[in-house]
Chains A and B, each alone.
Chain A
């Protein structure tokens, strides 16, 4: 199986550790993931702001069409690829691209989906002796419907103290450019989410989307909450031999 990593523009630019962790997990499972350097962005940020970018859809399809599976450590990017690419291609009147986009989207997986559905495992041999809470991001919960896959993966991490996040299914208020266009509503939602995180008593907040974590983490840092944010992949990559630094 030829597996490609779609790192996402955000992880490529700002959160390389989440990308490295994804590579670590895939290699531990015996895969040899490739990272095609032509990849840039899925176009979600643009589309959700009203700018449809068929060229980014084309770039994604051209870059990844040849692979058997594309793994991405982002539920919202996987969601955009699966739910928006065809729409954007059709809107541009490019039906050939729409057909190819559908085929590529069908083999694009968010990390937890890939591990559980394709690799048929919910134990990736991780060790992470910390108190962790998991925020199911809206796009993983409702758009991709990853269900309990991330929980199953986390529960099998040795040493972990997994605690519930109160009101876990409430949106954190990020919403891409929503956080800039409606900053006060976004901040009000963030304040409530931070309250839940603190209430959980966790040292680490994890999620399958670095974008939401950038928002919640940025708020937690601002108030010096002392709670660290980590991508789900970073926890799953950690072992007793090679613990997370």
Chain B
């Protein structure tokens, strides 16, 4: 297993090839398009009714920037306060260490089955697989994550991870992989939810250990918050005896009252709701109420690497709402798997290379037309297009590419002076001969589009003649 766990699925995920296959899959495109369009419209309606939306975005960005500038201080404050309230705080530098700590904690309980709250951090470190390798079965309890786990599939979206599946496919998955599917199961959403409910209820009532992530870690109190829609998360967070939470170090917010900002930004951006149906906050251990053994694993796994990047560090403001995925025209046509990483879409295209090093994911910053829709909706004002361009620059420096370097060398020379440029302009006329079928790599253009019919003379020739 690589050190980053599941952060990237293969070294150098080949986005262009993956995307080519994905756009050919009409069913996938329809599923993704319908799902993103629904959330997009709901979000737009709620943003329109929130008069101080732009101020909320500024506030969200400012609070997160404060955290990132004083991360050391807030982390220690969080550890101190969580410990004082009876939680055990652990520190993990990478995926392996975080998985090992979690596995050891589970071993100490003597149990071999755990239930899980949906969590990007545990996905990122490949925790379920790491635990399986040590003999522990982790059951996903989020409905979408359950579907994926049963189907041996991977998430394709940060908030709605099974969005690439429609209900007919989900019915098939339940019938084929659920240990005890109801007879006569239809693809009616209520019937599917009921089947999952019956399956999960048994797990909630019998399992003694739970694993979660967290949406926010409150430095001032040492508390954690999970926001969710189903209530399955709350089952995991309250019923078991032991609760282990894997939390990225950028999840911190300074004060409890900062939730005022984020609990307005997050649900509107993520699911198009005014409020998450379930917000569960727990602060260490509460006697005779909820888990009596509470552990928090604070995870770096490339976050401090991202923090070192002047332009890129703003990506650590991300609150995983996935609004950028839902508006991205590229994501809409490829789905999430094409990115070959835990975090897909525009935020994944910057976060992944920032965390693993751009040399390990050099295609991802190019998986964008730079249309800027992501920046416009980001609730914490991450300037994704600018970070993409900066990472492209890093990618080019990290990995030379012969053909492309030569093309841009030639362009640089041609554009370096008036005489050279005037000479280069004459060659534009040659385009006439390749308008409909150009040689590679321009053939990638002429496969679906004509090249323009070159003009009789360039603009500057007309200008010079006109001026005499």
Binding site for B on A (CB under 8 A): 7, 9, 11-17, 19-20, 23, 35, 37-38, 40-41, 45-53, 55-56, 59, 83-84, 87, 91, 138-139, 141-143, 169-171, 173-190, 214-215, 217-219, 221-222
Contact B425 A12 (CB under 8 A): yes
Contact with A along B175-214 (1 / 0, CB 8 A): 0000000000000000000000000000000000000000
Q: Is the interface of B mostly helix, strand, loop or mixed?
A: helix
Contact B447 A12 (CB under 8 A): no
Binding site for A on B (CB under 8 A): 15-16, 19-20, 23-24, 29, 329-330, 333-334, 365-373, 375-376, 385-386, 389-390, 392-397, 404, 408, 411-412, 414-418, 421, 424-425, 428, 431, 441-442, 444-445, 447-452, 454-455, 457-460, 462-464
Most chain A CB atoms below 10 A, which of B366, B370, B373? B370
- Write 28 A-B pairs (CB below 8 A) sorted by A numbering: A7-B459, A12-B459, A13-B424, A15-B455, A16-B457, A19-B462, A37-B460, A37-B463, A38-B417, A41-B415, A47-B393, A49-B392, A50-B389, A50-B392, A56-B412, A138-B372, A178-B370, A180-B441, A180-B442, A180-B444, A181-B16, A181-B366, A182-B16, A183-B445, A183-B448, A187-B448, A189-B330, A218-B445
Given contacts A14-B452, A218-B445, contact A182 B367 (CB under 8 A): yes
Query: Min CB distance, A126 to chain B, in Å?
Result: 21
Contact B370 A19 (CB under 8 A): no
Given contacts A7-B459, A218-B450, A222-B450, contact A40 B389 (CB under 8 A): no
Contact A175 B408 (CB under 8 A): no
Query: Min CB distance, B408 to chain A, in Å?
Result: 5
Query: Min CB distance, A184 to chain B, in Å?
Result: 4
Residue of B nearest to A139 (CB): B372
Number of A-B residue pairs at CB separation under 8 A: 178
Docked Cα-Cα span, A79 to B459, in Å, equals 22
Query: Min CB distance, B57 to chain A, in Å?
Result: 15
Contact A185 B333 (CB under 8 A): yes
Query: Min CB distance, B457 to chain A, in Å?
Result: 7
Query: Min CB distance, A186 to chain B, in Å?
Result: 7
* Cβ–Cβ < 8 Å partners of A189 in chain B: 329-330, 333, 369
Query: Which of B370, B418, B431 is the one whose CB lies under 8 Å from A48?
Result: B370
* Cβ–Cβ < 8 Å partners of A176 in chain B: 370
Residue of A nearest to B331 (CB): A185
* Cβ–Cβ < 8 Å partners of B334 in chain A: 185
Docked Cα-Cα span, A180 to B424, in Å, equals 21
* Cβ–Cβ < 8 Å partners of B375 in chain A: 142
Contact A184 B463 (CB under 8 A): no
Given A7-B460, A13-B428, 12 other A-B contacts at CB below 8 A? A16-B459, A20-B462, A23-B463, A40-B416, A40-B421, A50-B393, A59-B415, A141-B372, A171-B329, A175-B369, A182-B16, A217-B452
Query: Which of B20, B416, B428, B448 is the one whose CB lies under 8 Å from A222?
Result: B448
Contact B333 A188 (CB under 8 A): yes
Residue of B nearest to A191 (CB): B448
* Cβ–Cβ < 8 Å partners of B424 in chain A: 13
Query: Which of A56, A141, A143, A179 is the one whose CB lies under 8 Å from B445?
Result: A179
Docked Cα-Cα span, A215 to B446, in Å, equals 10
Query: Min CB distance, A178 to chain B, in Å?
Result: 5
Query: Which of A14, A23, A84, A184 is the one whose CB lies under 8 Å from B23?
Result: A184
Query: Which of B24, B369, B451 is the one whose CB lies under 8 Å from A186?
Result: B369
Residue of B nearest to A8 (CB): B459
Given contacts A174-B369, A181-B16, contact A48 B392 (CB under 8 A): yes
Docked Cα-Cα span, A182 to B453, in Å, equals 24
Contact B421 A178 (CB under 8 A): no
* Cβ–Cβ < 8 Å partners of A52 in chain B: 393
